[in-house]
Amino acid sequence: MRFDAKMEETPELVVITGRVHYSAMKSLLSVVTLLLVATPAAAQEAPDPARLKATVDKLVSFGTRHSLSDTEDPVRGIGAARRWAAGELTRISDRCDGCIESANIARTFTGPRAPNGIEIVDVLGFQQGTEPRRVIIIGAHIDSRVSDVMNATSDAPGANDNGSGVALVLEAARILSKQKFRATIVYALFSGEEQGLWGGTLLAETAKQRNWTVSAMLNNDIVGNTIGQDGVRVADRVRVFSEGIGAAEDLPTLLKRRQNGGEDDGASRALAKAVDGIAGKIKGGIDVFVDRRPDRFGRGGDHSPFLALGYPAIRFTVAAENWKGQHQDLRTENGIVYGDTVDKMDFAYLAKVTAINVATIRRLAAAPAAPSGVTISGALGYDTTVKWQPVEGATAYRLHWRRNDAQDWQKSVDVPAPALTEVLKGVPVDDHFVGVSSLGPDGAESLVAFAGP
């Protein structure tokens, strides 16, 4: 693996220094004290459909963004697209006094879809929080393809798959850069998704190697259309895919989860449920369809490598896919127009999906980390004793519980820090699931950590 920006580590801080291939560094992760800024809801900026469209139009203008396409041409191919996207992150950073630092990571991958090997480059932007090693990642793949996955020369506009996701990430960066947070936000644009989820693999493995605490990973892939196959229109919801049982869990952990009844409460599923709740509070927004699968049937995305390493990760995808507009040569056959073009997109809808991402990050990046070591006891009784480990920066903890026949939390109580245990009177452990979240001084809440024995 190659970092175009060299990483230096201290116990408190990860600092990226050196020359970046795409943009000059501006003292990434500088040692400063960032104060959480609470922005009134009325003052929070909404995503701009026109800006999202302009971004997708620009991405399409590069002709193809196939991972094996030209990397040196100034106006065509994935290299030109990556340089432009990195430049956009720099321009956003310039408007917030250097709050986002751009870098890229790279590694050579070889596989059936790149038999001669290809250097995969991820374009990253870091918005440092007061907890530099704890990150919230919002990502999308920038590469595109046509019918033949090895065709790196034909026009592959990739407007919805996945110009929509890239536009969302850049718009989220523009909006969130106006605030300061506890967690570090990583804006990630992946290459190599169509060749084998290689960009997601590269960043997931980098996070593991660098000992980052990944509180959440939001993958946005095909998030910009409302007209699906055969004219089906679904504009009132977005699917959010998540795993219940963790891909990274070993057999003893899986058996404990089975015994405890926690199949619907892994970290990824907890993230999806949190997104659902957040979306429900957005005025004029859309619903979140909590799709209880890691991805669409038999398929995967750049969140999959994060799940494989045990990180809470989810995928946003439109409710009605149009497969005639995905992975297709540009053509018309029997009156049917094939190809992933801008005219098939709905940018007002994309703005609403962007708003859900922004609101989710705004909450989770402002909150402390989720608690660990959450346990329950109380067999042969009608009370449940809950215990958890302390979380740095938490001013209180919220205990959630629900009956075992319910999917969503039904009741909660807040316990001020430094308390690390609480007895739930009249809540029999046999019949209730319990979880604990951390609360920050401004009330921002972490994900809920499910309680085990």
Along the chain (453 residues), what's the average pLDDT of each consecutive run of 10 residues?
A: 43 31 32 37 80 98 98 98 98 98 97 97 98 97 98 98 98 98 98 98 98 98 96 97 94 92 95 98 97 95 98 98 95 95 98 98 98 96 97 98 97 98 97 98 97 86
The pLDDT score that the predictor gives to residue 1 is 53
pLDDT at 373: 96
Q: Which domains does the chain have, with CATH numbers?
A: 2-366 (3.40.630.10), 375-450 (2.60.40.10)
Distances (CA, A) of 307 to 263, 312, 363, 432: 15, 6, 22, 27
Beta bridge partners of 63: none
**Neighbouring-strand partners of residue 15:** 8
Whole-angstrom CA distances from 9 to 31, 43, 201 are: 12, 37, 22
Identity of the amino acid at 252? P
Please name the residues in contact with 168: beta carbons below 8 A apart, sequence gap of 6 or more: 47, 52, 140, 220, 223, 350, 353, 354, 357
213-220, strands of its sheet edge to edge = 2-3, 100-111, 114-127, 183-190, 131-141, 213-220, 313-318, 237-241, 287-291
Query: How far, CA to CA in Å, does 319 sit from each of 242, 278, 296?
Result: 15, 18, 11
Report the predicted TM-score, pTM, of the whole model to 2 decimal places. Answer: 0.91
Paired with 313 in beta bridges are 217
